[in-house]
Structure 1
Amino acid sequence: MPRGTLEVVLISAKGLEDNDFLSSIDPYVILTYRAQEHKSTVQEGAGSNPQWNETFLFTVSDTAYELNLKIMEKDNYSADDNLGEVIIPLETVIQEGSVPENSYKLVKDEKYCGEVKVALTFTPERNYERSYNQEEETGGWKQSARDF
């Protein structure tokens, strides 16, 4: 797998289960690639159709081929609730360079529970091949040999 940078644009979600009785849900997203993790801002009172339009960067340097997105609901007086998650395969974005805005189905307990929309871009790391010119050499064998 090539090394480089994965850019994830978190756009929006729709159809999230609004399980708060007194107010609208306050969703946020945890984005995970291997040991790297980012959290979106909490969309307070956004309800089941939040908008983020936030960009996150991940360093790709190994053979992991998936990005995990977990939609959470911020609770002030108890643990945050998992509203659903999706695992996005990365083979296409790495081969093509980008995947335009696309909706992915969120699942919780093997049941559909909404969608999240993201756009993905992969920028490979540039490998600079150094050309060895005799004039650029410093401290090499040729220079040392001239001193004798």
Structure 2
Amino acid sequence: MPRGTLEVILISAKGIDDNDFLSSIDPYVILTYRTQEHKSTVQKDSGSKPQWNENFLFTVSDSTSELNLKIMDKDNFTQDDFLGEATIDLGPLFEAGSLPETVHKVVKDEEYCGEIKVALTFTAERNEEYSVEDDNYGGWKESNEEF
């Protein structure tokens, strides 16, 4: 069971549907891992090609292996619009330790609607349990010489 820190570098998106009638969309991303959630900054008037270059950290404490990225359009006078989402399987990341910048499909209503680029790093928690190979462990060998 992996334990450690998941670092997500949110880089950019492209091909996102620019559905605002009078102006360009103002996209942001809600990143969710289990019950942990982070929100990127809003890219004002960036349209269908936003650039974020932001880092987010999540605590990994079990075998949940999906990261969800939900792309939203910030609206001032109405509810924010859902533009699409990407779900990333973290299984390969837990084995490799890091994945370079990778493009993931963004879908809405089961249809392709753009791409989002992220880089991922998993840093395993150091396990500092007792090790038999450690020469300085002490114990019966030292006490045996006294008898």
Partner in structure 2 of residue 138 of structure 1 = none
Amino acid aligned to 2:117: K
After superposition, give the CA deviation of every residue in 1:94-126 in whole Å (9 maximum; x if it has no partner): 000011000000000011110000000000000
2:117 corresponds to 1:117: yes
Partner in structure 2 of residue 70 of structure 1 = 70
After superposition, give the CA deviation of every residue in 1:60-107 in whole Å (9 maximum; x if it has no partner): 001201000000000001110110001100011100001100000000
Task: Please list, as runs of the form range in 1=range in 2, the aligned pairs for 1:77-96 lying within 5 A after superposition.
Answer: 77-96=77-96
Q: Offset of 1:130 from its aligned partner?
A: 3.7
Overall identity of the aligned pairs, in %: 72
Q: Structure 1 runs of 4+ off > 6 angstroms?
A: none
Q: Distance in 2 between matches of 1:2 and 1:75?
A: 38
Q: Offset of 1:133 from its aligned partner?
A: 3.4
Q: Offset of 1:2 from its aligned partner?
A: 1.3
Partner in structure 2 of residue 4 of structure 1 = 4
Where structure 2 has 5 or more consecutive residues not aligned to the other structure, the ranges are 132-136, 140-147
Task: Please list, as runs of the form range in 1=range in 2, the aligned pairs for 1:1-148 lying within 5 A after superposition.
Answer: 1-130=1-130, 132-133=137-138
Amino acid aligned to 2:138: N
Q: Distance in 2 between matches of 1:28 and 1:53?
A: 12
Q: Distance in 1 between matches of 2:127 and 2:138?
A: 18
Q: Distance in 2 between matches of 1:71 and 1:36?
A: 16
Q: Distance in 1 between matches of 2:34 and 2:2?
A: 15
